Structure 1
Amino acid sequence: MLKGLIFDVDETLVYYEGYDHREWYEKWVMPALRERGIELDYETYRKTVTGELPRSYIESFGINHVEFWKIVDGVNLEYRRWMAERGKIRPFPDVDALGELKAMGLRLAAVSNASQECTEFVLNLFDLRKHFEVVYGKDYSNLDGVKPSPYLVEKALKALNLKPREALMIGDSRHDVLAGKRAGMKVVNVTRFDKIEGADYYVSDLRELVGLVRKML
């Protein structure tokens, strides 16, 4: 019996107009790192984000990895505020479906690889926070627990008191699909940008998700 849904946030519920990962890192993050005497090239950073390298790999450069990610996340929050002021963070037009899903009696959670503050910031920006019983951003006590690790998803399941078979993972990326599958869940890929192999269901947007969920219930 389906009882809950666990959502990814960025690119599933909201998007960032004109965002370029490399440009963001070089223009925003690198200056902040240099101020603290830290040099880290984009390629190495990118690999830690894609999961090719663990988040803790930064330690091999003699950098405390918890401190490093706190600097990055602080910059990310500044960046999100800057983007929000310019109207460049937008919710997808179908996010009102969250209210419908909740009205069906489903329990909702959100999990993100961004920090707790960054995640709460964008959800609050569009009054989406109210739909979720729990929201989890990256956990500084387990930085390698970000998706594709199932850690955050399992944490959300536990908080909702649900078994993996009682919930669906919903996201746009390979990381979301892998995290959900590793947590023993069925996964819905929202194909806003790409179709990710390995998902159990595919929907083009959250309106289509409502239809899928109705059939399941």
Structure 2
Amino acid sequence: MEMENDNSFTQQTARPKYDCLLFDLDDTLYPLNSGLALATHQNIKDYMVEKLGIEPSKTDEMTNLLYSNYGTTLAGLRAIGYDFDYEEYYSFVHGKLPYENLKPDPVLRNLLLSLPYRKLIFTNSDKVHTIKALERLGLEDCFEGITCFETLNPIHKGTVYDDEENKGSMATDPTPKTALKCSEIFDIIQHFSQPNPTAVLPRTPVICKPSEHAIELALKIANINPKRTLFFEDSVRNIQAGKRVGLHTVLVGKFQKVKGADYAMESIHNLRKTVPELWETEITAQVIACPET
């Protein structure tokens, strides 16, 4: 009996698990103990006092409430009624940071360059700060692109309505507002001092993490598929928001995973140990038919 000839063979093809690695910047690509976060927080409070006329005794509580409810203090300040120039704000807040504390990081540089994936930055910070920090770390050429504050938010120079007729559009004010009248500001401290706050918090015009809309918009702009992207963040709530939109997630700066984190590592330098599959490939089998001879 003649056996039937099987004119086919199996070919193995390698396919990476991920297409893209998406990195936060501050306290992710460099450690929290660099001192930049502490200095940024102080500079924000100084800006609130010097430029917005907020009482110094209120800045600690206000920054905590605004940050926890809006993602960033800037987003919260805009939500509750303060109008100011974004560029001026970031120039003040980041202009006096101790960038000298950031040193070239050849270990991280080599790790990043050894990974054959798209690599991008996604930060709530402004572009000037992002580029300066990456240059200090020696990582400026390790990333394909940067999605930062300006990517998701048009530059805001301070706006006023010209009149009732033009109330639907915003007109540029050549002399941006600083402190507004108290009656125009939503008192967020008073709001949360009530046992059962009834008023709804005002919405912010600023688009930033941890808003799912902000993350989805950043992914769309960079043409990223969340299901094939690994997202590195030091913020638990940003990690959880990223997970909700379909990203794979790595919590940086923590020993233990939290809800929403697929991985956790104390330092970005632990990348190879924590996510070894980045240097591996997923093998898939494909049956190829052979022509008869």
With the shorter chain as reference, the TM-score category is 0.7 to 0.9
State how many pairs are aligned: 205
Change (3 A) 1:126 1:89: closer
Q: Does structure 1 conserve the Cα–Cα contact (< 8 Å) formed by 2:19 and 2:228?
A: yes
Give the conservation status (yes or no) of the 8 Å contact 1:177–1:189: yes
Partner of 1:2: 18
Amino acid at match of 1:108: K
- Distance (Å, rounded) in 1 between the aligned partners of 2:61 and 2:86: 16
- Higher normalized helix content (fraction of residues): 1
The residue identity in structure 2 corresponding to 1:132 is F
What SS does the aligned partner of 1:45 have? helix
Tell me which amino acid in the other structure corresponds to 1:195.
Q
Distance in structure 2 (CA, Å) of the matches to 1:75 and 1:95? 30
Residue 163 of structure 1, CA deviation: 1.4
1:168 CA displacement: 1.0
Equivalent of residue 58 in structure 1, options 60, 77, 82: 77
Q: Equivalent residue for 1:212? A: 277
* Match of residue 45 from structure 1: 63
What residue in structure 2 maps to residue 123 of structure 1? Answer: 134
Say which structure, 1 or 2, has more relative contact order (CA 8 Å, 6+ apart): 2
Question: In structure 2, do the counterparts of structure 1 residues 60 and 197 end up closer, same or farther at CA, with 3 Å as the change threshold?
Answer: closer
1:158 is matched with 220
Tell me the equivalent position of 2:143.
Answer: 132
CA–CA distance in structure 2, aligned partners of residues 36 and 145 of structure 1: 22
Does 1:100 find its partner at 2:114? yes
Write the deviation string for residues 132-151 of structure 1: whole angstroms up to 9, x where unpaired. Answer: 11211223348642211134
Q: Distance in 1 between matches of 2:240 and 2:118?
A: 22
8 Å CA contact retained: 2:20, 2:230: yes
- Cα pair 1:3 1:167 within 8 Å, conserved: yes
Please tell me whether residue 201 in structure 1 is matched to residue 215 in structure 2. no
Q: 1:44 to 1:111 in 2, by over 3 A?
A: same
Residues of 1 paired with 2:103 and 2:47: CA distance?
A: 26
- 2:246 aligned counterpart, secondary structure: coil
- The equivalent of 2:195 in structure 1 is none
Aligned runs of 1:5-16 on 2, under 5 Å? 5-15=21-31
Larger radius of gyration: 2
Q: CA RMSD in A?
A: 3.0
Give the distance between the partners of 1:171 and 1:130, measured in 2 at CA.
Answer: 20
Percent identity over the alignment?
A: 22
Tell me the secondary structure at the aligned position of residue 189 of structure 1: strand
Q: 1:180-215 CA deviation, whole Å, 9 max, x = no partner?
A: 11321111122x345351201233422325523124
When normalised by structure 1's length, the TM-score is 0.77
Following superposition, the deviation at residue 127 of structure 1 comes to: 2.8
Question: Distance between the aligned counterparts of 1:60 and 1:180, measured in 2?
Answer: 23
Secondary structure of the equivalent of 1:129?
Answer: coil
In structure 2, give the amino acid aligned to 1:207. Answer: R
Between stretches 196-205 and 32-41, larger displacement belongs to 32-41
Q: Say whether residues 1:113 and 2:124 are aligned partners.
A: yes
Q: Which residue of 1 aligns with 2:14?
A: none
Which of the residues 239, 245, 249 maps onto 1:177? 239
Of the candidates 84, 89, 92, which is equivalent to residue 72 of structure 1? 89
Match of 2:102 in 1: 89
SS in 1 for 2:240: helix
Unpaired runs of at least 5, structure 2: 1-16, 155-203, 283-293
Structure 1 residues 62 and 48, CA gap change in structure 2 (3 angstroms): closer
